[in-house]
Structures are given as C-alpha cells and as structure tokens.
Amino acid sequence: MLSTDAEDMIASLAGGLVPADRERFRREAEATLALSPHVLGPGSIYRTLVPVWRKFFHPTRDERVTGWGRDRQRYGNNLIDAPEPEDGRAYRHLRIAK
C-alpha cells in the first residue's frame, strides 16, 4: 500500500508522459517504491522515482517558429543606423558626477 504522497508524486510525474507510457510507468514506479526501503517523505519519493521517470520521458521536438527568424521586420537602431561624424568623433558625451 502506497502513501498518499507517493500516489500524488506518481500521478504528477505520469502527467508529463505520453499516454501510452503512463500505465507502464505507474506499474514500474509502484514496484520500485515497494522494493525501496526508507522511502518516507516527498523528497525521498521524488529521488527514487526520477530515474524511473527518465526512462519513460521522451521530449517532443520543438517545431515552433521563434522571433529570431529572418522574415521578421527589422526595427531601426540609432546606434547602428546613425551616420558617422565627419571629424571622426563619436556623438557621445561623458559626464562625470562629483
């Protein structure tokens, strides 16, 4: 008989898995906790279940288009687009606060 902490942790970790792997993960997690001595609190339950969870977790490929694509509108930048001064000086003034 598993504790409510163990049941909650198994349910929480199973939620991030592919539906086809959830039942196999649940069975293996319950067997691992049944064989593990001294699994008392949520922290030790988590540390015991994470290696089992990693065997079943397969991240999906991220196919989203990000904002770094070349087809985005280019916004002006005063530091890049400003014309060079004729005398070679920068348009920067340094103030020293005393």
Residue 76 has pLDDT above 60, yes or no: yes
- Per domain, the residue ranges of the chain are 4-56
Which pair of structure tokens corresponds to residue 76? 């002006």
pTM value > 0.95: no
What value, to the nearest 5°, has the Cα angle with vertex 44 and ends 40 and 46? 125
Cα distance between residue 52 and residue 10, in whole Å = 10
The pLDDT score that the predictor gives to residue 71 is 55
Strands (E), 7-63: none
pLDDT tens string 31-62: 999 998 887 888 999 999 999 999 999 887 76
Q: Distance between CA atoms of 34 and 5, rounded to whole angstroms?
A: 14
